[in-house]
Amino acid sequence: MPSPWSRSIGRLVVVCGALCSASACSDPVLEPVELPPGMHDPHYPALFINKDVDVLFVIDNSGSMTEEQAMLAAGIGAFFEVLERPDVAANYRIAFTTTDDGNPWCSDTTPEAGQLQLSSCRSRPEEFVFPDPVIDPVGDACSEHCPEAWAEIETLPTTVWGDDQAAPRPWMERIDGATNLPKGLSTVQAFQCLAPQGIVGCGFESPLEAMWKALRRSATDGDPAQGFVRDDAILSVVIVTDEIDCSDNDAAESMFLPEGNRVFWSDPDAEAPTSAVCWNAGVLCEGLGTYDDCRSIDLDVDGNEVAADDAEELAALRPVSRYVQALQDLENYKQRITPDQEVLVSVIGGFASDGSVTYADAVDDPTFQSDFGIGPGCESANGRAVPPVRMRELAEAFAVGNARNLFSVCDDGPSWSASLATIAQNIAAQIRPTCFPACVADFEPDTPDTLEPSCRFVQEAPQPDGSFEETVVLPCEADRSLPEGEDVCFVMLVEDERSEFCAEIGFNLELEFVRREGVAVPPGTAMTGECNLSDDRETDCPEL
């Protein structure tokens, strides 16, 4: 019998991304390392596999958000069910910030300005008290879903790239089945305690600027958020609000002050500004009454349109292009590591249940019209929400195919579960299976109905002294469980076992690497492998 390595050999390497932390690296990158003899076409693509996911929730913490925060907590189980499915097994981090970026009219709030927030809502009861509440906010948004036993939550110490000192981080994570949460606290329960941000934040919400600052903090040395966004990870931004974006330019703050320019006020004689200032300063609608369309516009404090090149400096509201460009730069950088990876943006806001949006004046409710500059985009027993324009445009700029990314904040509880599951499905769709990037040979030609590849893999893990520990990776057991005493094994998927992704490309072998739950992989770990290649690719891989 000839040696299984006597024929043409295909080689690959699976390497952890450049910014994997010690607790976060899990075979994200798959690429061919050399062109083996026997390949008929040298132009095999570099294929990348990445299960790392960073999710930033930007949550409105203004006075009208009690019910919405409660429904977010109630429905989040459907989100985690998708991310933790065996066929997804995402290595995720989840962080929270608020929509309070500060405003000259909100002198009594403590703006987070994009700081990551990680504390149990049970420890912050004062943040859930609003003057003359119709319902008990603490009971609705926090204690109904967060038990008193978790009044204090501190994450377990972990390291991030560039900081080898283990420390508690201001985010929750689950990497290779192991979390940074206290023993006994599930990911769903943790989210339900950590996500409610209270209702004492500024009523001039700035979700886009808060997002921008949170992402910038992640790249700032010394900030607690440093390292949250991993270079190789899928990034998903989820904004939850019932109002529009009011990310104002600091130089234009006088538009909110009674002694300032009142050109954007609905009532120039009013004692105080309303959210209509934000609508009038940043939105242009076409049509009458019920509008054909509304779009963002860059106006200065006097109401004059400014050129796109001057908008960053002169526009009363920060231009939407500021946020599109920031996310596009991130996406472009990530695609240098993982081709075709998309940054994802979702908005749970003032949309209809199907994600559509209607812009119409509130002719039957002059108070609402004066307060917000437009009629409600949706309404329910829990209240009404303003139809967003600037956030909608950002989400549309990062739409992926026909995947839905606009959802209604007015929906009932079960619908929130469906919306959150869809957001998670969009993330899961970014996780690519591991196709072996060549046409492998059938090592057992006597069984022509079944492809039986011959492959071997070695894991190379860096050690503190600079050396590498090599481990031969064994095949998984028939039930895909780990062999006794092993922390990693591999499964070879062929024919109908392959994912649709690998099958459509035409590769006839797909790989799965199964790791023992809770066993972290050192950053820089590489998985090298060899498989016998086919001498007749046209027959064995006709679609390749």
Based on the domain organization, do 312 and 380 belong to the same domain? yes
Based on the domain organization, do 510 and 529 belong to the same domain? yes
Confidence of residue 139 (pLDDT cuts 50, 70, 90): low
| Of the residues 363, 396, 428, the one at which a domain ends | 428
Classify residue 31 as exposed, middle or buried by CB count within 10 Å of its CB (0-12, 13-18, 19+): middle
| Of the residues 392, 408, 428, the one at which a domain ends | 428
Confidence of residue 7 (pLDDT cuts 50, 70, 90): very low
Based on the domain organization, do 45 and 57 belong to the same domain? no
Residues 504 and 491: their CA atoms lie apart, in Å, by 20
Residues 402 and 266: their CA atoms lie apart, in Å, by 38
Give the mean pLDDT of 68-96.
94
Based on the domain organization, do 82 and 201 belong to the same domain? yes
Q: What is the pLDDT of residues 203-260, one digit of tens each?
A: 999 999 999 999 999 999 999 999 999 988 999 999 999 999 999 999 898 999 999 8
Based on the domain organization, do 332 and 458 belong to the same domain? no
In 3-state terms the chain splits into helix, strand, coil percentages (rounded to 5) of 25, 20, 55
Q: What is the pLDDT of residues 92-131, one digit of tens each?
A: 999 999 999 999 889 888 999 999 999 999 999 999 887 6
Task: Flag whether 1 is in a domain.
Answer: no
Q: What is the pLDDT of residues 398-442, one digit of tens each?
A: 999 999 999 999 998 889 999 999 999 999 999 888 888 889 998
Q: Which two tokens stand for residue 323?
A: 């946020």
Based on the domain organization, do 306 and 335 belong to the same domain? yes
Based on the domain organization, do 364 and 317 belong to the same domain? yes
Contacts of 207 (CB under 8 A, 6+ apart): 58, 60, 99, 239, 241, 245, 247, 391
Task: Flag whether 117 is in a domain.
Answer: yes
Based on the domain organization, do 43 and 63 belong to the same domain? no
Question: Is residue 32's pLDDT more than 50?
Answer: no
More confident residue, 535 or 182: 182
**Host domain of residue 467:** 9-49+434-540
Task: Flag whether 4 is in a domain.
Answer: no
Task: Flag whether 451 is in a domain.
Answer: yes
Confidence of residue 23 (pLDDT cuts 50, 70, 90): very low
Based on the domain organization, do 281 and 241 belong to the same domain? yes
Strands 526-532 and 9-15, bridge-based pairing: antiparallel
| Of the residues 428, 452, 485, the one at which a domain ends | 428
Per-chain mean pLDDT for the chain: 86
Domains in the chain, number: 2
Task: Flag whether 3 is in a domain.
Answer: no
Residues 50 and 232: their CA atoms lie apart, in Å, by 7
Q: Which two tokens stand for residue 271?
A: 């004692």
| Alpha-carbon distances of 75 from 17, 70, 113, rounded to whole Å | 32, 9, 27
Based on the domain organization, do 376 and 467 belong to the same domain? no
Task: Flag whether 197 is in a domain.
Answer: yes
Based on the domain organization, do 420 and 303 belong to the same domain? yes
Based on the domain organization, do 60 and 41 belong to the same domain? no
**Predicted structure pTM score:** 0.83
